Structure 1
Amino acid sequence: MLVEKAVEFEATSYRGLFNFIRYIEQLQKYEVDFGEVNIYGESADTVRIMSIHKSKGLEFPVVFLSGMGKSFNQMDSRAALVLHSRMGIGADAIDPEHRVRQATLPRQIIRQSMKLENLAEELRVLYVAMTRPKEKLIMTGMASKLESRVKQCAAHAGRQEELLSYQTLSSASGYLDWILPAFSRNRCFDGLYEQFGLAGNVDNPLYAEKIPVTIRLVSPAGLVEGEVLHQMERAVNEQKIMEIPKQPPREAALKELVEERFAYQYPYEKEKQIPVKVTVSQLKKVGMEESEIGKELFAQEELVPIVPGFLKKDHVAALTGSDRGTAYHRLLECLDYRRAYSITELMAQTEELIAEGKMTKEAAECIYFKSILAFAKSPVGMRMRNAFLNETLKREQPFVMSVPASEADPSYPEDETILVQGIIDAWFPEGDEIVLVDYKTDRVKEVGELKKRYEKQLAYYQQALERTTGKKVKEKIIYSLALDEELVL
């Protein structure tokens, strides 16, 4: 998959390893779903079972096309009330007085049209199936009343046109009703003719044409007989193997070596469960099952159900949960603090972000601009404005740091480390120290609840900032956009 992504990237206007790494980081940042890697190539030595529709566009060396004797599904054309996209509705005529139901001409016409359309689709599906193999196609099917079918095929033996007649195509109830008449005019069909005392038409030019087709008739009794012979042969071979005299080991050292190899136990079995890297959100799972990688340290934000547009009001309670939080963080990441002191300016900035492709229109509808305005006018907002004007405000800063593995799970050894990655909402220097800011959209009754949920999270942020900058974090501020209040830790 990495190679595929690299090839796709090189096809764009960007070039180079640096730009490719930034591209992959952005995909990870916004949690783009890469899909599942296909570890099996089309040339792999495997057997793949799939429907005909799923095989479209693929090719294989050998294809088994099974179930050829199954009847087509024509239930929709047999219903008492038939519906057609162009012809409309067809229904039976009912005489309630005499309690009689009779088919009407519109219903019969619609029914016949639907049947032909279904057959046309089945023909297209059969074409897809028969064009998948590169080397060999094996078609299997159970045929009831085979003798009657073969006699009907004998009636086609003299037909010299390559294409089957309209009557044969339109009266088919399964794939065999097309396949058998098509082969019945060639000598590959002689085996079935002889089975029932019939003969093909040797005068037909199509009879002498050499085609690489073999038709084989297999009965249930023949299948059972073949299986019995196979099992008998297998039992005889097993008996012969058991009669081979057992040879003692060449030397005791060989036996000791084998026992030692099989008795070996990996000394670092517990360490296998330690993840190499976890996100701050994964560290929220402490206290859950030990089998889970990463543990809960702080509660997740409350998800508020999406409200239909016609019920929305200009109030935070009518917004969404996770989508709402993402929209708020995106606006605050790009906020121009010089223009952040009126609803009109905030809405104008949002429209600019939409035009630049940095935010969707649906996400913008989740924002309650009075909360953003209140944040910009709050004490921490004014401090961030000063940092913005001095070009020292850092927003949405990613980090990766190592921590003892025991912080993720107390059962992990203390001398082992794991990597923790996350994104800090905002920070800015004041003097020789740092102020850390984290905004939350959780719906809480009082801002103190956020301390219980996110105190540990901000401790990781503080640790990361102090390591990377060499400066001390003097304040950790949580700002609640739902309550328009700030909390200093």
Structure 2
Amino acid sequence: VCRLLWHIYNTLHLPGIFGAMDEGGVRQENLVALTRHAERFESSGYRGLFAFITQLRRLIDAGQAPAVKTAGGNGGVQMMSIHKSKGLEFPIVFLCDLEHAFSRQDFDTPVLVHPALGLGPLCIDLKRKIRYPTMARLALEEKLRRENLAEEQRILYVAMTRPKEKLILVDALYGAEKRLQKLTAAAACPVMPEVVAEGKCFGDWILLPLLCRPEAAPLRDMAGVMAGGLYTGDTAPWQVFIHDGDDFGWAPGAAVSDTEKDAGETLFDPALLTFRYPYQRETTLPAKLTATQLKGRALDQEIAEDAYHTPYIRPLVQPKFRREKKGLTPAERGTATHLVLQYLDLQNLDVPGQVEKLRLEAKLTAEQAAAVDVPALRRFLESPLAEEMRQAETAAREYRFTVLMPARDYDPAAAEEDSILLQGVVDCWFETPKGVTVVDFKTDFVQTEEDVAQHAELYRGQLAAYSLALERVLEKAVTRKALYFLQAGKTVEIS
């Protein structure tokens, strides 16, 4: 297993890829840690990839996942949530945002749920247009509130027991004097349970016993209160510092020296007004293209090039439920025909029966089934192209793909390292001894040979994109590209 892991790492260049991400050093250490765990696994006499994965899953489910490196291992300052710090220790810990109020989102739902006490709904009086809590809801709310406070106490305990040397608590108080006066009135050590239950944040719980200690004299002086019977039983030293937030901000009326004014003037460079972003061309390069954007229509070309166009005028019309139904649009009829082609049984020439089956299976609506061009589909089943598809070794319809392609394939001016994500759906492809054939079905209204030739030229880019994508995905050569126009019953091969 260890050799397999290193083979995967080296083949896919995983150390370099993960090393280039955020916290790359940590990610690389985690990759190495996994191989070391595989070595220990095999040194115990076990063998096999399946056994290794099974053991990993059991360890993870039991909360005994193999030890990995953390960001703290790099010697930097690590920021993490309290939950994530569980089980870890650090020399110095800053516990910040102590004024963050406890969440009450659990009590905002119309119905409270408790695994033991059941449901606690609101009562809605339709006649008086009011709602009020039921006795069951009040009971559940009190129960859930106590459980939430107990959980918050456990979280605070975890946070305050992470440091090995020093714990620094940061509590940003608004209206500090009045707040401290209120807390001092209920302060005690230990604090009464009913007072603890009224706490709104971690800061309340920490200040209540702290205000009874001698070290909290600066806090009591700020509030202008005296505390009798100070608690001195705990010998652990506390240090209390008070900082005024205004000391860290810019004073609105502060005078600016002449030196600072001169420095400010010299910092401005008039050339900034004529600055042109050197990579402006790249900003117009789309990050993603769909194959339908390459088939030559004006709107698709604008999308592909991110070009501006004149606004399309959309007439104000009545909503659909107010309009008289006049059947499907040509685009909707084409969508219905493509749905039938997706599920069409090439061995069964009974097209009406197949359409009715799709309607009964709810794959087509009744309106779509009525709009399907049955004669065109029958002509297709009798065509040489359909016979080739029936004889094919491998075939697929509505084949979806997403591949990363060089941007220069679609924009010669793009940089060599730029890429574009190409997405699309191939109507059909099938494989013969000569290679892969790509087929795209078209419902365009064409009648003459000239119309067929003109429309076929519009789809050259789309078929080329399909071919490149399939060669990348299937790792096989595409030797033939064909368009089939259903209305004309003609097959056109694109070179």
User: TM-score normalised by the shorter chain: which range applies?
Assistant: 0.3 to 0.5
Calculate the TM-score normalised by the size of structure 2.
0.46
